[in-house]
Amino acid sequence: MSKLIYIAAGIFTIYFLLPLYILLMIAFSPAKYTIESVYPPLYFKGFTLSNLIYAFTQYDFISPFFKSLAVATLVGIVALIIGIPAGYGLSRLPGKVAYPVLILLLITNMVPGIVVAIPISAEFIKLGLYDSIPGLAFVQELITLPLAVFILQGTFSTVSRDIEYQAKIDGASTWSFLKNILLPIASPGIAAAFLISWMFSWDEFTYAVILSPIHPTLPIEIYINITRGNELAAVAFSLVFTIPVIILTIALQKYLKGEYLTGGLKS
């Protein structure tokens, strides 16, 4: 039985890592062995940096990269600024009131993004938010904020109200209770909410392609290069695109656990 588990784990690992391996192989192999080959091999037949040098010297990826980084970071911060009080408030409401509200918030994730993005883009043109970092971040909150509130509501629900009562008896102000007791206890759930919000924004495509076509984010820039036949540039940008995700995932990997993502605190 244990061997089957290891075999299954190995198959799943290969399944998920194979796209990244192929990306690395195309990025660092001569084009004649990859995109210019009719039957490209699944192993390295050569090594070159010319693909990356050509892509980064011939095409602009700095502006799209920093725009994606700014939007994703702003989305994560706003999700916490709004999500923490919203999640805490819902956690202190009776379940029969809190859960319908949470379901109502999650309805926005059930609506196709393109249906929402088109009317919003018309309004954003009037408001001067079209093709801007705040405008795109504001729209992406439609996806990330309900998820952040869901995670934070569950996180705060696990914090006993006796702790809050005891803090008030000891003379702690509301701000002191939040700063010194509640937020430190809930920090794993807060980190998970930020990470999920950041990652959803980082590779979001539908809203970005409609609301930010002139100064695109990095996913849109990759798509543009693919449609124009610049596959090597798209591969090079995709390689850069994965680096922040890997760094952030490694830094916060201890929070990427079921109990945090569902709002529960680790005992």
| DSSP annotation string for 141-171 | HHHHHHHHHHHHHHHHHTS-HHHHHHHHHTT
> pLDDT tens across 117-135, in order?
888 888 888 888 898 999 9
Q: In the chain, pLDDT over 90 holds for what percent of residues?
A: 22
Angstrom distance (rounded) from CA 98 to CA 211: 32
Angstrom distance (rounded) from CA 159 to CA 213: 44
What pLDDT, on the 0 to 100 scale, is given for residue 123?
84
What pLDDT, on the 0 to 100 scale, is given for residue 257?
64
Helix 133-157 to helix 62-91 angle (10° resolution) is: 30
What pLDDT, on the 0 to 100 scale, is given for residue 71?
96
What pLDDT, on the 0 to 100 scale, is given for residue 265?
47
Long-range contacts of 205-210 (CB under 8 A, 24+ apart): 206/112, 206/113, 206/114, 206/117, 207/113, 207/116, 207/117, 207/136, 207/139, 207/140, 208/71, 208/136, 210/114, 210/117, 210/118, 210/121
Q: Burial letters for 149-173: b for 16+ Cβ neighbours within 10 Å, e otherwise? A: bbbbbbbbbbbeeeebeebeeeebe
Computed over its alpha carbons, how large is the radius of gyration of the chain?
22
**Could you tell me the two tokens for 248?**
């952030």
User: How would you write the pLDDT of the chain (267 residues) with one tens digit per residue?
Assistant: 678 888 888 898 888 888 889 888 888 988 888 888 888 888 888 888 888 888 888 888 889 999 999 999 999 999 999 999 999 999 888 888 888 888 888 877 787 878 888 888 888 888 888 989 999 999 999 889 999 999 999 888 888 888 888 888 888 887 888 888 888 888 888 988 998 899 999 989 989 999 888 899 999 999 998 888 888 888 888 888 888 888 887 887 776 665 555 554 444
Whose tokens are 């990330």? That residue is 144
CB burial of residue 136 (10 Å; 0-12, 13-18, 19+)? buried
* φ, ψ dihedrals at 40, nearest 5°: -65, 140
Q: Rounded mean pLDDT of the chain? A: 86
> pLDDT tens across 48-61, in order?
888 888 888 888 88
Angstrom distance (rounded) from CA 246 to CA 60: 22
Is residue 199 within 8 Å of 76, Cβ to Cβ? no
Is residue 236 within 8 Å of 55, Cβ to Cβ? yes
First-last CA distance in the chain: 30
Domains of the chain, earliest start first: 3-47 (no CATH), 60-256 (1.10.3720.10)
The predicted model scores a pTM of 0.83
State the alpha helices, DSSP H only, in the chain.
2-28, 50-58, 62-91, 95-106, 113-127, 133-157, 161-169, 174-177, 183-185, 187-202, 206-211, 218-227, 231-251, 258-261
